[in-house]
Structure 1
C-alpha cells in the first residue's frame, strides 16, 4: 500500500462541509460538579461535596445537594446581575463581551426543591480572598459554568474529505471554528486556573482543500493501531454510570432513575472503598477481589437498578401522600423474608471465594513448598513437611528481638539476616550480628549467630 500510494497521484474526490452548532452547557447539579472536579482536579466525589458544603455555609454558594441544572423564571434578573458582577470580578472575563441569555437554563418544571448550583451575591462582595486553594478551584468552576451557560453557542464547520490514491480510498476529517461562543470562556477560565482536561480530544484542522484537487508525490506512512479494552472507572465516569444505570429498563414515568441520588452517590462510593470492595489507584477506582466476589454471589434482584428506581418512586409517592408507608414497609419485609429464606446459606464453592488470600513469605528449605505466616509461627504449606519457625522461639526472646515477618523472609531467601541491637545475656550489652538459619531437618529449627561485636 505504501509503495503504491507514493508512486501515485492523490486526488480529492469528495469534499463535504457542514455547519454545526454546540449549545452552551447546562448549569451544575451536584453530580455534574463532582464529575468535572474529579476530571480536572482529581477531587473525589466526597471532597467536592465537602468543599461545596463549606462554601454554602460561608454563604458564597447556593445549596449544593441539588439534582437540578436549571433556574426558575423569577431568578432571571438576579442571575443576570450576578453574571455582570462576575464579569467584573474575574480577571479572565475583563476583555470578553458577554450578552447573557438564560433561556436554555430557565425552566420552572425542572426545578423541584432546589435550583442549580450558583455563586451568591455575597461572593461578589468577598471574592476569593478567604478561600482555600481547593475552595477557590471549585468556586471558579461554578462561576465559569454560569458564564458559559449564558454565552452564545459554539459554531464550527465540519469538513470531510475523501482522497483517492494508488487504488485506495482514504477519509480525512477536521473542523474550522466559526464562532468560539461559550468555548472562549471555558478556555480562558481553564488557562487562568492552569486546568488541563486529560480527556479532551485534540482538534484536527485540515488545510484548504477543493474537490478535484491533486497532490503529486504524496508522502505515505502506515501505522498499526490496536483496539483498547474499556478503561477503569474514575469517579467522573462512575458517577455518570450510576446516574444512568438501568435507564433503558426503567419506566419513563419513574420519579428517580439510576443508582443513588445526587446527595448519596459520594457516600456510596466511599462505603465501597472503606468496606474493601474497591480501591483508589490514582484517579482510577479498581474493584478488589472481595468486590468481584460480592457481585458474583448477590441475587439479581439486589443488583438491579430497577429496584432503586421502584423504591425511589414509591418514596416520592409517600412524600406526596399518594402511596402508603405501611404498604411500602410491608413489601420490603416480605422481600427481605424471601431473600433470607432463599439465600440463608451460600454454596461451598461461593463461600470459598471469600477465603482470605495468603501471601507466601518464602520457600521451605526442606521441601520447596510455600511458607506462610500464621498467628504464632511461619509454617510450611505442605502438611507432610514438619518445617516451622515459631515467633516465640527462645533464640530471639533471649536476644530481646521480635521474630518478624521480614526476618523470616530474609532467612528463607538467603539463609541469613543481619540484625542490629541484639541483647547479650553474658555482657548485658547489645550487638549487631548475622543470624544464620541452621536447620538440621529435625522437629525444631535452630538458629545461630555470627556476631560482629563493636
Structure 2
C-alpha cells in the first residue's frame, strides 16, 4: 500500500500519474499487497508503485562509492584532460537506478597507471564539422534567462544582488513582460519559438550598448532600493535619477536610430499609419494609433490626441476628419449619461484645441 497524508492508494483504487518530484511525498505502508493484487493494477500504477518502493529502499542502502582519476596531459603547451572512474561499491545503485550519460561515459573510460611528469605518446587528429546555430528561444527559456540574467556579470556584488532577487522582474511579472512584447509586436511566437520582429530589431539596436540592455541596471536599482529601506537614500532622489535616465535614453536612442540602417524602415512604418487630418496645434499629421488618434509630432513635444470613444459613443473616422477640418461636427446621437440616458449633441474643438460639447446645444432624447 501507498500513503500520502490521509489518502491511501491501494490496489483497487485509482492512482493518478505523478511526477518524480512528487513521488517523495508517498511512502509505503506496512500492508504488503499480494502478487495477485499487483497484477490487477494497470501497468502505469504498477510502475509507480515499484518506483516509490525502490526510492524508499534506496534511503537505507549504502553510499555509491567510486575512485575517480583525472589526468592532465600537456601537448605543445596545451592542456588535455581525461577522467576515469572505478566503481568500489554500487551501493544504492544496485537497485537498478539509471545512471546519467555523463556518468556512464566516465565509468567506461579506463585510464592506465601514470606517474606525475611522466612522458607519454600521443596521437593527435583533427575532425571537420559544421556548427549549428543556437536554438530559438521559447517563452519558457526566455523566462529562465530573465531569472538567471546576472550570472555573467563581472561585479561580484551586483551578481549576488541579482541572484538574491532572481534576476529581472518577479514570478508574477515576467510572463506579463512577454505578453506586452507580443502585443506591441516586438516579438512573434510561432510553434512556441520566439522570433524578433522588424520593429523589435529597431528596439534592440536603439538600446544596444546601453544600461537598458544590461542586467547591471537592475542590480544598481535594487542596490539603491535597499538603501531607501535602510533610510540611507530617498524615494525622490531615486525617481529623479530614473527620470534623467529615461530622457537621456530617449534622446540617445533617437539619434542612434536616425543614423542607423533602420531609419528607412522607421520612415516607411510611419507612412503606413492612416492619416485623418492635420493637427490643430502644430499642423503635423494626425494618425490612427489604434486606440486613439494622435499627432505625428509627438516626438517633438506635441501631445494633441482625440479619442475614438467619447462619453459612451464611438466616433467614426468621418466624424474625426470633419472635426479636424471644420473644428465642429454635425449633431451626433448616442452619447450616454452616467444614468444610462442617451442624448444628442455636436462636438467642437475650442481655442485651446480641447474636445468639448457645443455650447447651448439643445439636448434631445433618443
Shorter-chain TM range is 0.3 to 0.5
Calculate the TM-score normalised by the size of structure 2: 0.40
Calculate the TM-score normalised by the size of structure 1: 0.34
